[in-house]
Amino acid sequence: MRAIIQRVSSASVTVDNEVVSRISKGLMVLVGIGTDDSPADAATIINKILNLRVFNDPADDVKMWKSSVKDIDGDILCVSQFTLLGNTTKGNKPDFHKAMPSEASRVFYSSFLESLGKAYKPDKIKDGKFGAMMSVSLCNEGPVTFTIDSRKFEYVDQPSSGTSTPKGKSKGANTPKGKGAVTPRTAEGANEVGLKSEGPDAGAKVETNSG
């Protein structure tokens, strides 16, 4: 499960020239659901959305990265975005086989929104329109954009059949040894956030089709 979290001063979703959702200061969250995602993946994403300290201290605006969306009583606008599960490693046409099918995704996403509301405040959670062609407008403050992945970027970016091992070499043959060797992070918390500079400029509009 993947989520793009953006700190915004305002955001809205328009469908067929009608604004269906609007928030003021808070978070704009694009949500991608994978074929094998479970409630545990949803719980990981929900925890990050609600507790990530992306806002300044309300009592002292100079102090950055001190407050979560809960701390500032901010709004959260979520939009289902299956393209977050797209694989672009081969050719130029995105492959969406790792995205959960539409109907199953609709059920999972509804449950995700319900759980997010229960963990925070139901009236603070806004949504687009699942499966519709939406125009998403937002004013990204910073800009500040984070990518969260419940699987540490493993299950989409790896080939479906697994990575082949070069002939004559065993897996791990090139693993550094000795003092100062760097090993992969496997401990809990290794899926911490990574800051990205992607995302539209302040006030930009993004055309997105959920589901």
User: Coil, strand or helix: which one is 175?
Assistant: coil
Are the CB atoms for 145 and 20 separated by under 8 Å?
no
Strands (E), 65-170: 75-80, 125-127, 133-149
Q: Is the per-residue pLDDT at 154 higher than 50?
A: yes
Note the pLDDT tens digit of each residue in 156-211: 555 555 544 444 444 444 444 444 443 333 333 333 333 333 333 434 444 444 45
Place of tokens 């719980």: 43
Tens of pLDDT, residue by residue over 124-148, are 999 999 989 999 999 999 999 999 9
The verdict on whether 83 is a catalytic residue reads: yes
% of the chain exceeding 90 in pLDDT: 64
Please report which confidence band the pLDDT of residue 70 belongs to, taking 50, 70 and 90 as the band edges. Answer: very high
Q: Outline where DSSP puts E strands in the chain.
A: 2-15, 18-23, 26-32, 75-80, 125-127, 133-149, 194-195, 205-209
Q: pTM here?
A: 0.71
Query: Which of left, alpha, beta for 60 (phi over 0: left; psi -120 to 50: alpha)?
Result: beta
The interaxial angle of helices 102-119 and 39-51, nearest 10 deg, is 40
Residues 2-159+189-209, CATH architecture: 3-Layer(bba) Sandwich (3.50)
Q: Which of 14, 83, 163, 165 is catalytic?
A: 83
Structure tokens at 135: 């125009």
The domains of the chain are located at 2-159+189-209
